[in-house]
Amino acid sequence: MLPGATAALGGEVRINSGKADPCKALALHLNCSRPVGMVAWFRAATALSDRLLRVTCRKNLMRVAVTGAFGYSGRYIARRLLEAGHSVLNLTNSGNRPNPFGERVGVSPFHFDEPSKLCRALQGVQVLVNTYWVRFDHRLFTHEQAVANTKVLLRTAREAGVRRIVHVSITNPDLASPLPYFRGKAELEAFLQDLGLSFCILRPAVLFGREDVLINNIAWSLRHLPVFGIFGSGEYLVQPFHVEDFAEAAAREAEGNDNKIVQAIGPETFSYRELVMCIARALDLRRPVVSLPPRLAYWVCRGVGWWVGDVVITREEIRGLMENRLFVDAPPLGRTRLSEWVRQHRDTLGRHYTSELARRLDRQSEYRSN
């Protein structure tokens, strides 16, 4: 029990700078006029501490801006923050998507081309959680533009008075990499660290969950194709991280203060071949998993992409996989095991193909659960 804690009228807790007798304070808390015995004193101290904690928590509630709060990972992060009592602003290019949170979440366009408007939208925001990125280069969006846009966002957040940024990166970013995904992520990490704000950089490998693309589409391929081809040996490693665990980590770091880089990986490490076979077993499917030359496998995927109207995978993504860029030697951050999750969702996983390109082009539809 801290000196100076008293129970005000009406049961509210008030902290003052005086040196009130803790026994008398607890007696007031118990609505009695004499000091209490040890058992009652302990019970009262516990109850009063709980009230003090709730008051402290209320004082620490924040306004948090989350990019893509109506999308995939951003939606899970926004839900966690709302459950913790924080208010959330959604920064997005897709303001017309269905809002699962109603009036609890405000909406603002990114305004990358008008930073003054973005700055006004960020007024009063204490923390920015940035998930904004693009998976591949396209005629309508590129990694180069995503890097430039993100720099505008981070710089404007500082100008608006944001005190902390939680930024989503990738495992093994590399300024010297010829792969624009990993090079761009490394450039943004360096930019953020030079910005002078409190930061946490989360480095996930592969996210999985009800709305994911990769795991669902592996399952879809196993369900619809007679053979599953993998790039080369398939012995390169991946560490899938569940989106709920990811959101928990992002929300926790939003409340933090320390500058840190966190390897956001799950409790299981698979070779790519093992990953495919794990999903096949969970779905009770027997499909030959065959090694193909990476170039041939890429063109097979191009053919599947033509069939489904999507970019299934790019040459750069294949190279990143085969360079083991989705593996780090670090302790797991998540608890959810992909092998168990796939078994739990075997009835729905892979029933429909999930198109990354359709999500980029359709700015009004809700992300479908797999």
pLDDT digits (tens, 9 = 90+) for 294-305: 999 999 999 999
pLDDT for 52 beyond 80: no
State the Cα–Cα distance between residues 219 and 287, nearest whole angstrom. Answer: 11
**What residues have CB less than 8 Å from 344, skipping those under 6 apart?**
none
State the Cα–Cα distance between residues 264 and 269, nearest whole angstrom. Answer: 13
Please give the single-letter amino acid code of residue 156.
Answer: T
Lowest mean pLDDT among 3-7, 139-143, 314-318: 3-7
Mean pLDDT of 165-189: 98
The answer to whether residues 319 and 146 touch, using CB atoms and an 8 Å cutoff, is no
Domains of the chain: 5-59 (no CATH), 63-207+241-264 (3.40.50.720)
pLDDT number for residue 370: 66
pLDDT number for residue 369: 65
pLDDT number for residue 37: 60
Q: How confident is the model at residue 53 (pLDDT cuts 50, 70, 90)?
A: low
State the Cα–Cα distance between residues 180 and 201, nearest whole angstrom. Answer: 19
pTM of the model: 0.82
Mean pLDDT of 85-97: 91
The answer to whether residues 256 and 250 touch, using CB atoms and an 8 Å cutoff, is no
- CA distances for 2 relative to 15, 45, 57, 59, 87, angstroms: 9, 10, 17, 18, 30
pLDDT tens for 234-289 read 999 999 999 999 999 999 999 999 999 999 999 999 999 999 999 999 999 999 99
Mean pLDDT of 24-37: 47
Average pLDDT, the chain: 87
Burial of 34 (0-12, 13-18, 19+ CB in 10 A): exposed
pLDDT number for residue 361: 76
pLDDT for 358 beyond 70: yes
Lowest mean pLDDT among 56-60, 74-78, 330-334: 56-60
pLDDT for 42 beyond 70: no
Residues above pLDDT 70, as percent of the chain: 82
pLDDT for 139 beyond 60: yes
